Amino acid sequence: MRKAGDRELGPFLIGNRVNAIYLESEEPLYRHNCFIESLPQELSPEKAGSLLRRMPAYSEAERTLPALRRLNAVQRIQNIVVPLPEYLEIEQKFSRMIRNGYLARNPLSAEWIKQIQAGFPDLDWNRGSSYPYTPTIRSTAAGFSIIGASGVGKSTLIESILSLLPQVIIHREYNGRPFDQQQLVWLKLDCPYDGSPRGLCSSFFHAIDRLLGTRYAEKYANQRRTANDLMPIIAIIAANVGLGVLVIDEIQRLRGAQKDNSNLLLNFFVQLTNTIGVPVVLMGTYKALGLFTREFSLARRTTGQGDVLMHNFAEDQIWDYFIERVWRYQWTAVPTPLEQSLKKVIYEESQGILDIATKLYMLAQWEVIGSKDKTERITPVMIRVLARENLTAVAPILRALRMGDLEALKDISDIGLPGNLLQDHLRKALGRVQLQGTLNTLRNQVAVAEADEEGLGESPEEQLAALIVQAGYAPEIAVRSAQSACRRFAAETDLRLAGSEAFRLAAEETALKKATVEEAASPQEKKKRLKVVSLSGDLREIVAKAATETSPYDALKAAGVIKSAEEFLAAGAP
């Protein structure tokens, strides 16, 4: 969060910065307009759907992962974006709206004349006098509003559509002529919580400064200027930076503002569209519907592209398509098929609100993964219980949607699922699985200890390896030695002989490893340190191992087989 004075400013969406690439438009009216020709080409519905789609990675093999891993994987569902027919229609509206908004705002006079000539080839330019004549083309800029219940996907959709366009386009020259300009294609801001016009102005200045490197906030956002002073400045800045569209989210917050303040903002949006030609898109919940009847001109301007009411989805083939795509993301041990009874109960409990439906599905998986039910099966009864326990905050919206009561929806505050709901459930599920894993570990330890006391539960190899480790040898050497010795004496099933052999092998491998480490030592040091020991007592083995390093005499002496004569003389002295 950023601050201007003592006011907190909400976050704003940041997109891409690109250098201008100009593409001649197929539409004659758009030609020779650098603001339009620097935009990406218009998309077909198929391509728009492909670009809007967000389907996270998933593999059926992940069902075999430990429960803790699978619980965390369920969170991927929050990142799913399934393009639906309504989304593609809104993408087309945005594309037309931005281009029409730039139509009469060509920043280059010479190119503007070429643009008019291309768009109106039969236009009469002969005024019949000595004065120059340039026909006037009226701006047709018009925005639209998007209204719907919390959770139907308004913000996710619009942000996904905006991401299809660069936010800032850097121009250097156009048609061989210098043209130094930063074009701000779109800007999305949230309406202040208190509906304050001055708060919105402050957010605008700080956003422009962050995106374009300007210092408007420092220059204009001081306590002495009122909203009435700032709004004309904002209009001028919007024109200077080539703003293509201004998106204002959470517009229903104006319902809680003083009437004069809300009217001031609404009239400003009308002015911005009428006089500057910058389309404005207003987004909000059903509570915002009453705002658009106050000013007829605002209602007309915000329906230029056709208003969008994003209702909850009907229980039809579109709903089936959505829920089937989401259901593929399942991490239960055994797959739960999407039967008609499950489709129906999820729809009834979510009333076709996509956000609620996906979160119910996530809650259901967290409920069963790592539970006592080894199949981890999702059932309709479970969905109903989870909805009853967790959807109390959205109960008024769901009740109004079931009854089709639009008037009731207008009076419902902007409520949604608690922000910490999912994290609380994930934390509980993780805690349950971790506790179960700890208890299983403790039970296994007790079982091993009891088996040790009874002499049961461990193979001969494991028993020998444990004894060798206790004697101070490395665990990996102990395991190899025990396995080799037990294989050698398997026929005799004599643990005593196997034990002797295992210790011998461990000692020899340790000595060999030590000799390898000391390979870099001098010959004198090697001779001094060399001591080959054979637990089997075979003198030939001692001589053979030392043959390349020293003489047989020195090897036998180093092994303690040859003793000094003084020892015997001293022992026989009277």
DSSP state of 404: T
The amino acid occupying position 308 is V
* Residue owning tokens 């030590």: 514
Does 167 fall in a domain?
Answer: yes
The pLDDT tens digits of the residues spanning 182-216 come to 999 999 998 887 778 888 888 899 999 999 999 99
What pTM was computed for the model?
0.67
205 with 104, same domain: the answer is yes
Boundary (domain end) residue, out of 499, 518, 537: 518
463 with 331, same domain: the answer is no
Does 444 fall in a domain?
Answer: no
For residue 55, give the CATH number of its domain: 3.40.50.300
235 with 148, same domain: the answer is yes
3-state SS, residue 284: strand
3-state SS of 249-304 is ECHHHHHHCCHHHHHHHHHHHHHHHHHHCCCEEEEECHHHHHHHHCCHHHHHHCEC
366 with 485, same domain: the answer is no
Q: What percent of the chain has pLDDT over 70?
A: 70
245 with 158, same domain: the answer is yes
6 with 144, same domain: the answer is yes
Instruction: Give the mean pLDDT of 391-411.
Output: 75
Does 438 fall in a domain?
Answer: no
Boundary (domain end) residue, out of 310, 345, 380: 310
534 with 495, same domain: the answer is no
Does 450 fall in a domain?
Answer: no
186 with 218, same domain: the answer is yes
543 with 484, same domain: the answer is no
56 with 170, same domain: the answer is yes
Structure confidence at residue 514 as a pLDDT band (50, 70, 90): confident
Does 302 fall in a domain?
Answer: yes
Task: Say how many domains are in the chain.
Answer: 4
Does 57 fall in a domain?
Answer: yes
466 with 354, same domain: the answer is no
pLDDT of residue 411: 65
User: Which tokens in the block code for residue 15?
Assistant: 């997109």
235 in Cβ contact with 271 (< 8 Å): yes
377 with 277, same domain: the answer is no
If we measure between CA atoms, which residue out of 441, 433, 440, 438 comes closest to residue 69?
433
Does 8 fall in a domain?
Answer: yes
The pLDDT tens digits of the residues spanning 337-377 come to 999 999 999 999 988 888 889 999 999 999 999 888 788 99
Boundary (domain end) residue, out of 291, 310, 329: 310
Domain that holds residue 525: 521-574
* Residue owning tokens 């730039």: 102
92 or 574: which leads in pLDDT: 92
The pLDDT tens digits of the residues spanning 10-48 come to 467 888 999 999 998 888 888 888 999 999 999 988 999
The pLDDT tens digits of the residues spanning 376-394 come to 999 999 999 998 888 877 7
Phi, psi of 310 (to 5 degrees): -90, 85
User: Which tokens in the block code for residue 187?
Assistant: 């800007």
> Looking at the predicted structure, is the pLDDT value of residue 4 above 50?
no
Does 447 fall in a domain?
Answer: no
If we measure between CA atoms, which residue out of 505, 455, 497, 459 comes closest to residue 478?
505
